[in-house]
Amino acid sequence: MHNFLAIINFYHCFIAEAAQKQALLYDSVKTNKKNDKTPIQCKLDAIAAFDICKNKGANAALLACPKDDAPFSLLTDASDIAIGVFLNQHADDGLQPLALFSHKSTPTEKNYGIYD
């Protein structure tokens, strides 16, 4: 599981909402050491998160190059688990992703107010 998370984390900038999707997987291996061969006890929601991450990794976003003459848009998303940001550019065929960012909230960040 650690190797899978390392690979997915490498591609996190191409996967929308990567931190939120990976949060359950990181929580399931939190007590295991990196080279521990003990089987991991996963809940059904962690197994579903694994499948989502696997599919999202296989279908990672193809990022476009920015164009000076097209307008940009910044989409943000926040939850109790993670935050996400999408920088897009308007094109003839819809929004094209330029950059993606996601971050799993730390226990301290989960206590922040909505305006912090």
Q: Name which of 10, 24, 19, 26 is nearest 101 in CA terms.
A: 19
Amino acid in position 92: D
pLDDT of residue 61: 66
Q: Above 80 in pLDDT, residue 99?
A: yes
Q: What is the mean pLDDT of residues 78-103?
A: 87
What pLDDT shows up at residue 72? 95
Task: Kindly give, in sequence order, each residue whose CB lies less than 8 Å from that of residue 2, ignoring residues fewer than 6 positions away.
Answer: 29, 32, 34
Per-residue pLDDT reduced to its tens digit, 37-82: 777 777 788 888 888 888 877 776 678 889 999 999 999 988 888 8
User: Over 60: is that where the pLDDT of 116 sits?
Assistant: no
What dihedral do alpha carbons 78, 79, 82, 88 form, nearest 10°?
Answer: -30
Handedness of CA 2, 17, 56, 27 (dihedral sign): positive
